[in-house]
Amino acid sequence: MEFGGLEPCTSNSPDSSRKRNRKRKPAELGESDGLSGKKLKRISALAEAAAKIDPSHLADFFAKPHWHGIGLLGFYTYFNKALSQVSFPWVELFEETPLSMLIDVPLSDIPQPIYKASVNWIKQHPFGDLSHFVSWAIERIIREQHTCGVAAFVALAMVLRTKPDVLTTLLPMLRERIMFQGQDKLPVTVWLMAQASEGDLSVGLYSWAHNLLPLVGNNKCYSLQSVDLILQLVEKILSNPESRTILVNGAVRDGIQLIPPTSFEILVRFTFPASSARVKTTERFEAIYPLLKEVALAPGSREIFGFSLKLAGEGNPVLAKEATEIAIGSLTANADCFKQWDILYKENLEASVVLLKKLVDEWKDHSLKLISTPSDTLTLNRAMNSFRLKNKKAITEREALCSIYKEADKSCKVILGRLSSGSGYLKGITAVTAAGAVVVGAVAGAVATVVIGGATGMEYFQ
């Protein structure tokens, strides 16, 4: 898969100074916002029709008893009748309007009393009913692209802003069902995620990372304009002044990372292409990368270590440097990554040599974290000894990469030397082991030598 060959149209990134949820009325819109006079007339018609909705009449509707789950369909029907005269060719509108404007369509034209009353009523409904309704409304929009009225968008926007988590339950459906796939469906998909992000930034980023970023990786299937729209959404999410606090603190949602390792790998590849592959898109990825990296690394993941080790050996110096930094960070955050490294060591030998040398060169910077507990110290010690067993076997058998194994072995020796000289815990283990050997006797010592000498890979950790 090629990365870095994207060069989308000029960015319509949102103005970070715009206040969240600010409602822009038709009088505020103009040609500078990318809206033609024809579109302004349509928006004005929506505002005029919405202004005629009687709050007391809506309150009477909400007060009536409704069968379980049927009330939400009635809610849609109510707005469909009230706004039936409004022309809303959403396909054209969504394709030609920048996300910074599209995010408030059509709610910017719904009077606040109507909006607030609707939100309070929506909050009373069970999560399952809301999920079924959103699924139904999305399907209706897709199936009736040229006839679906504005009411479906009004109802969807209200529900998604009130209960953003509803969208997360439907992400697999949006990813897997054919009817929701394709570039022509992307604008409405981005609009749905933008509505949810207005209610919860974490849901917005979760949706973007799980459903949209993987599409960017498949750049043969999506146009430059589509990639631009996908980037606009994450730029809008990150422009919120509270985004760092909210997203880093909520990096794991219901046991699932906001940015899964597979998506983070795509992000790293696009942010650090080879020098010859840099395009305009690269700068946009570089701008969003620092915060997204922080979110992705917050939980700690052995899977992230695995792909970073792989990237470090792909031959792209820029990518390798960043991948090595990520790998070091993973090792210091989670000692279990050393066990993962032991499994991947031989198939990523050259990258392992680079990583080992970096650990040696930057030992003072990382050692306190690497040996912060006796358990972590022992894990590191076992990993280095396991690497040495592999190195020794390869060198003895004169394998093709013998010189690289020798280089790796030098670093392993240095690290083991520093562990034995700087860790009282390891010295204690050595002393106890020696005393035990005296008590048990020479036979036990010989058996131990045979067992350890024959151990390779994960057997050593066992």
- Residue 253 has φ and ψ, to the nearest 5°, of -120, 115
Segment holding 256, helix H or strand E: strand 256-257
Q: Has residue 167 got a pLDDT over 90? A: yes
Q: Which two tokens stand for residue 317?
A: 């110096």
Bond prior to 241 in cis (omega within 30° of 0): no
**Which has the minimum average pLDDT: 93-102, 104-113, 200-209, 289-298?**
93-102
Q: What percent of the chain has pLDDT over 70?
A: 80
The neighbouring-strand residues paired with 341 are none
How many whole angstroms separate alpha carbon 82 and alpha carbon 49?
A: 7
Q: So what's the pLDDT on residue 325?
A: 96
> What DSSP state is assigned to residue 65?
-
Q: Has residue 1 got a pLDDT over 60? A: no
Q: Are 394 and 405 in contact (CB under 8 A)?
A: yes
Q: Using one digit for the tens of pLDDT, what is the confidence trace for 232-251?
A: 999 999 999 999 999 999 99
Q: Which two tokens stand for residue 185?
A: 């469906």
Q: Which two tokens stand for residue 391?
A: 């190195």
Q: Which residue has the tokens 């990518």?
A: 319
Q: Write down the mean pLDDT value for the chain.
A: 85
Model confidence band, residue 21 (pLDDT cutoffs 50, 70, 90): very low
Q: Has residue 116 got a pLDDT over 50? A: yes
Q: Are 219 and 5 in contact (CB under 8 A)?
A: yes
Q: Within a 10 A sphere around the Cβ of 266, how many other Cβ atoms?
A: 20
How many whole angstroms separate alpha carbon 174 and alpha carbon 167?
A: 10
Could you tell me which residues come within 8 angstroms of residue 139 by beta carbon, excluding any fewer than 6 positions away? Answer: 179
How many whole angstroms separate alpha carbon 264 and alpha carbon 180?
A: 24
- Three-state DSSP class for residue 422: helix
Q: Read out DSSP for 106-136?
A: TGGGS-HHHHHHHHHHHTTS-HHHHHHHHHH
> What DSSP state is assigned to residue 178?
G
Could you tell me which residues come within 8 angstroms of residue 403 by beta carbon, excluding any fewer than 6 positions away? Answer: none
| Range 321-333 average pLDDT | 96
Model confidence band, residue 23 (pLDDT cutoffs 50, 70, 90): very low
How many whole angstroms separate alpha carbon 235 and alpha carbon 205?
A: 10
What are the C-alpha distances in Å from 210 to residues 203, 214, 225, 256? 10, 7, 20, 11
Residue with more model confidence, 37 or 117: 117
Q: Has residue 159 got a pLDDT over 90? A: yes
Model confidence band, residue 146 (pLDDT cutoffs 50, 70, 90): confident
Q: So what's the pLDDT on residue 459?
A: 47
Rounded to two decimals, the pTM is: 0.82
Q: Which two tokens stand for residue 35?
A: 């809206």
How many whole angstroms separate alpha carbon 114 and alpha carbon 110?
A: 7
Model confidence band, residue 80 (pLDDT cutoffs 50, 70, 90): very high
Q: So what's the pLDDT on residue 255?
A: 86
Q: CA angle, 175 as apex, 180 and 172 as ends, to 5°?
A: 120
Could you tell me which residues come within 8 angstroms of residue 329 by beta carbon, excluding any fewer than 6 positions away? Answer: 297
Segment holding 253, helix H or strand E: strand 252-253
Q: Read out DSSP for 314-371?
A: SS-HHHHHHHHHHHHHHHHH-TTHHHHHHHHTGGGHHHHHHHHHHHHHTHHHHHHHHT
| Sign, Cα dihedral of 174, 287, 251, 319 | positive
Model confidence band, residue 454 (pLDDT cutoffs 50, 70, 90): very low
How many whole angstroms separate alpha carbon 21 and alpha carbon 199?
A: 9
Segment holding 194, helix H or strand E: helix 186-199
How many whole angstroms separate alpha carbon 358 and alpha carbon 456?
A: 24
- Three-state DSSP class for residue 18: coil
Q: Which two tokens stand for residue 385?
A: 């000894």
How many whole angstroms separate alpha carbon 280 and alpha carbon 56?
A: 53
Model confidence band, residue 155 (pLDDT cutoffs 50, 70, 90): very high
Model confidence band, residue 298 (pLDDT cutoffs 50, 70, 90): confident
Segment holding 227, helix H or strand E: helix 224-238
What count of residues does the chain have?
Answer: 462
The neighbouring-strand residues paired with 253 are 256
**Nearest by Cα to 8 from 216, 193, 199:** 216
| Range 264-289 average pLDDT | 96
Q: Has residue 96 got a pLDDT over 80? A: yes
Q: Are 306 and 340 in contact (CB under 8 A)?
A: yes
How many whole angstroms separate alpha carbon 151 and alpha carbon 80?
A: 5
**Nearest by Cα to 40 from 51, 31, 50:** 31
Q: Using one digit for the tens of pLDDT, what is the confidence trace for 183-236?
A: 999 999 999 999 999 999 999 999 999 999 999 987 656 788 999 999 999 999
Q: Using one digit for the tens of pLDDT, what is the confidence trace for 24-59?
A: 443 344 444 444 455 545 556 999 999 999 999 999
Q: Has residue 279 got a pLDDT over 70? A: yes
How many whole angstroms separate alpha carbon 31 and alpha carbon 428?
A: 76
How many whole angstroms separate alpha carbon 60 and alpha carbon 440?
A: 88
